[in-house]
Structure 1
């Protein structure tokens, strides 16, 4: 029999555990000597490296559709923190370094999330759609993946989009991050937009950058 977590036996401890994990998570980041990307530039860099899109509403989850619309709300808050961000030489992009306070002015809503192997409505759920898209963009650059995690299992069917179904990058504040380091001499920039159906993302650079061999072979 699988041993239960302490927070499963005593659920009232979960908020305290989450606060502890987040505190240690960001404390470690503060002292890890990495230079984290934080500068934005309104104008776009001249060289488009790669662009893709991801369908916002997935009708095949089998769950209340309101969670899908809540997810879109959450995605828009998180995207604001990353839109037009520059990843300069020597800098590290961290999902949570940027998205940490995405809900400071406008609160997240409950979206679907995989928790202990079960799909639940969780505050801020659905952000993995953005981390998946980011990971696919990063795969088309020479950026070095510093931290990346796969989902324990796929939770429900993934609709057709510009991000292949096998591209997987989960994030969980206090536990799991998505980080890439720029060890090249080029500066990169992220750009995002939404329409009624899709989240669009692209990565640009200040100079031409060759496509990585493993991606060009796909």
Structure 2
């Protein structure tokens, strides 16, 4: 419980440094450039960190929830993700999952970052805060967007490995629609490969090889 409480503290400190950011054309957003090194001297506490498949306490733990949300929101904009690292382990089953597996982004100070470049002609503002029960955020543009986005997964596969465990694989893609809901694009975003930290369930159309 204390690790969860500390995570909330860490998220509040980090979002305070990011909330309200205006990303102008040609500029690049970097989580670590804005948040800096999370240290106890800056008020950060020990939160839960996933390290090589194990949960351990670490100063600044829980900030991956921030990078996950910003990455997911960015996929629904024309902004370009120029640096993103996938999680190496799939921690939780799909029962309570609200987004496709592999649609997050991990961060580790200071060499694993999330960076986003504004290659459009308009400025974007990042609004993000810790709400009553959730981390909340939004990218806002000074001009209405001429298209909408739908992020989905394809090529979902579970493989049993030689060492006895399982790995999960998929591809993240993005459909684009104009304001009349006509599809105008379907782009590859990324592919994911992660070690599963739970026994796979064979329901839901998953295939195990």
TM-score, normalised with respect to structure 2 = 0.66
The structure 2 residue matched to 1:211, chosen from 148, 152, 156, is: 148
CA RMSD of aligned residues (A): 2.4
Q: Is the 8 A contact 1:144 1:182 kept in 2?
A: yes
Taking the aligned partners of 1:117 and 1:146, their CA distance within structure 2 comes to 26
Give unpaired runs (5+ residues) of structure 2.
Answer: 151-173, 177-182, 187-209
Q: How does 1:9-20 map to 2 (within 5 A)?
A: none
Taking the aligned partners of 1:158 and 1:79, their CA distance within structure 2 comes to 28
How far does residue 137 in structure 1 lie from its aligned partner after superposition?
0.7
How far does residue 116 in structure 1 lie from its aligned partner after superposition?
3.1
Taking the aligned partners of 1:162 and 1:203, their CA distance within structure 2 comes to 19
Q: Is the 8 A contact 1:80 1:102 kept in 2?
A: no
Paired residue total: 154
How far does residue 66 in structure 1 lie from its aligned partner after superposition?
1.0
Give unpaired runs (5+ residues) of structure 1.
Answer: 1-64
Taking the aligned partners of 1:109 and 1:102, their CA distance within structure 2 comes to 9
SS at match of 1:79: helix
Question: Residue in 2 aligned with 1:115?
Answer: 51
- CA 1:142 to 1:104, structure 2 compared with 1: closer, same or farther past 3 Å? farther
Q: How does 1:61-140 map to 2 (within 5 A)?
A: 65-100=1-36, 106-140=42-76
Q: Is the 8 A contact 1:147 1:180 kept in 2?
A: yes
- CA 1:200 to 1:187, structure 2 compared with 1: closer, same or farther past 3 Å? same
How far does residue 115 in structure 1 lie from its aligned partner after superposition?
1.8
Question: Residue in 1 aligned with 2:105?
Answer: 169
Which one has more relative contact order, counting CA pairs under 8 Å at least 6 apart?
Answer: 1
Q: Is the 8 A contact 1:143 1:184 kept in 2?
A: yes
